[in-house]
Chain A
Amino acid sequence: MQRQVALIKQSLFDQGYLDEQFIELEELQDDANPNFVEEVATLYFKDSARLISNIEQALERGSFDFNRLDNYMHQFKGSSTSIGASKVKTECTMFREYCRVGNAEGWQDRRGPRRLHVGPSNTGTDQ
C-alpha cells in the first residue's frame, strides 16, 4: 500500500502536478505533527472547493467581474503555491492574466464546457 502511494506521489511529481514545495510540507511533518500533510491537504481541498464554487457562481451570472474573479484566483494561487500544486498554480496565473487584460473569451476558452474541479482524485483542473 505504501509502495502504491509512493508510486502515485512520484507520478504526480513527474507529471508536474506537484513541485518541491510539497516536499517542504512533508519535511514539516514529525512526531509532534504526524498528520500535518493530510491536514494541510484537507484544508486545501476544502478551501479550493469554496473558491471554485464562488468562481463558478460568478461566471454563471453572465457578466465578468474581473476584479472579483482576480481576487478569487489570487487566493487560489496563493494556497496552491503553498501546498506545491504546481499545475493549479500555473492555471491560476493564466486566469489572472485574463482578468488583468479583461479577456472574457480567454476565460471561457480555457475553462471550456467542463466545470472546474479539485479533489482527492485530481490535483488540478480537469484536462
Chain B
Amino acid sequence: MATTSTSTGDIKKTKSVEVKKKLNVLIVDDDTVIRKLHENIIKSIGGISQTAKNGEEAVNIHRDGNASFDLILMDKEMPERDGLSATKKLREMKVTSMIIGVTTLADNEEERKAFMEAGLNHCLAKPLSKAKILPLINNLMDA
C-alpha cells in the first residue's frame, strides 16, 4: 500500500492512497504490456483483477451471467471485437459494472463521444496511472 505522509507539529498524518473498498476489475486490452501495467495499478490500489485480450473475450466472460465486476477497463481498439462494440453488447446484456474506456491521444472528440455513448461511465487516455485512476474510482464508488 502506497502512502503519503504529512506532519503537523508532533502529529503525523498518513493519507492512504488505496481505494476505500476492494475492487474487482476486468482489464480488457489486446496488449500484454498494457494488461500487466493495468493489473499492477489495480493491485497497487488494493484491487483484484482478471484480464481479457479483446472485447469478444470480455463479452464471453459475462455470457453465463455469473461475472460480477465492480469496474471494467475497456481499451478502444482491439481485434475481434473492439471496445465500442463490446461496451454496447455488455450494456445490452444488462451488465451494470462501471466501464471506463481507455483511449489514446490520437482519438478525436467524435470518436471519444461515440465510445461514451456506447455505454461508458467515463473515458481516460492512455497511459493510465495510479494518479489518474484513483480519484475517478473513489468518486464513482461514492456515487
Q: Residues of A with Cβ closer than 8 Å to B?
A: 21, 24-25, 27-28, 30, 32-33, 36, 39-40, 43-44, 47, 71, 74-75, 77-79, 81-83, 93, 96
Contact = CB atoms under 8 A, between A and B. Distances in A.
Given A30-B2, A33-B40, A33-B43, A24 B129 contact: yes
A43 B43 contact: no
Contacts of A21: 127, 129
Nearest to A80: B33
A44 B41 CA distance: 17
B44 interface: yes
Contact of B36 (A27, A40, A93, A96): A40
25 contacts: A21-B127, A24-B129, A28-B40, A28-B41, A28-B130, A30-B2, A30-B44, A32-B43, A33-B44, A40-B33, A44-B33, A47-B32, A47-B33, A74-B77, A77-B104, A78-B33, A78-B34, A79-B31, A81-B104, A81-B126, A81-B127, A82-B31, A82-B126, A93-B106, A96-B106
B18 interface: no
Interface of B: 2, 30-34, 36-37, 40-41, 43-44, 77, 79, 104, 106, 126-127, 129-130
A32 B79 CA distance: 33
B77 A28 contact: no
Contact of B33 (A24, A43, A74): A43
Nearest to A28: B40
A93 B105 CA distance: 11
A83 B33 contact: yes
Contact of A78 (B40, B41, B79, B104): B104
Given A21-B127, A28-B41, A28-B130, A79 B2 contact: no
B127 A75 contact: no
Contacts of B40: 28, 33, 36
